[in-house]
């Protein structure tokens, strides 16, 4: 078995994304989610880092990232559904890449601590066995890469 320090083999940076928040405001979130994701899939709109959420006031919504060049297409599609939209057009994805990453939650913890320690507050995080990604403000992208490199590869 690999030691935790050996699991991360690379850091990647994907600038040029946008984070879209679609608030449904209804209790029928599963159906609205199917509507939202089916609409985007039918238009071949690429979405990533997808999160379903409910806030303390009971509002329901979806957050996801898209390439910046797809924002116009995605927002025009979503305005055909009942709900409200918010777009953060300047988001980057930073990731650590390796093997068995999800098997050791300490790696996600180290990643978050490295970012927070540099004053970078991740907007969202997603994990898999081969990649842990966080979305950060585009202006923090280079600093986020440096923080992750220092934590895992230095």
Who contacts 60 (Cβ-Cβ below 8 Å, separation ≥6)? 23, 24, 25, 26, 27, 29, 32, 52, 53, 54
pLDDT at position 102 over 90: no
Residue 56 confidence class, pLDDT cut points 50, 70, 90 = confident
Who contacts 16 (Cβ-Cβ below 8 Å, separation ≥6)? 67, 68, 69, 92, 138
pLDDT at position 95 over 90: yes
Q: Which domains does the chain have, with CATH numbers?
A: 7-15+90-152 (3.30.70.260), 17-89 (3.30.70.260)
Average confidence (pLDDT) over 106-113: 96
Who contacts 103 (Cβ-Cβ below 8 Å, separation ≥6)? 129
pLDDT of residue 1: 40
In percent, the amount of the chain with pLDDT more than 90 equals 64
């Amino acid at each position: 078995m690999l030691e935790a320090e050996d699991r991360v083999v690379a850091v990647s940076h994907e600038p040029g994304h946008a984070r879209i928040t679609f608030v449904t405001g209804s209790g029928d979130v599963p159906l609205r989610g199917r509507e939202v994701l089916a609409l985007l899939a039918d238009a071949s709109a690429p979405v990533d880092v997808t999160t379903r959420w409910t806030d303390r006031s009971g509002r329901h919504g979806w957050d996801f990232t898209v390439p910046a060049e797809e924002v116009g297409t995605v927002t025009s599609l979503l305005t055909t559904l009942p709900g409200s939209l918010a777009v953060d057009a300047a988001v980057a994805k930073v990731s650590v890449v390796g093997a068995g990453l999800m098997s050791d939650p300490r790696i996600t913890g180290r990643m978050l601590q490295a970012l927070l320690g540099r004053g970078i507050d991740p907007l969202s995080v997603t994990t898999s066995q081969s990649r842990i990604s966080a979305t950060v403000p585009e202006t923090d992208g280079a600093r986020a890469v440096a923080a992750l490199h220092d934590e895992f590869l230095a």
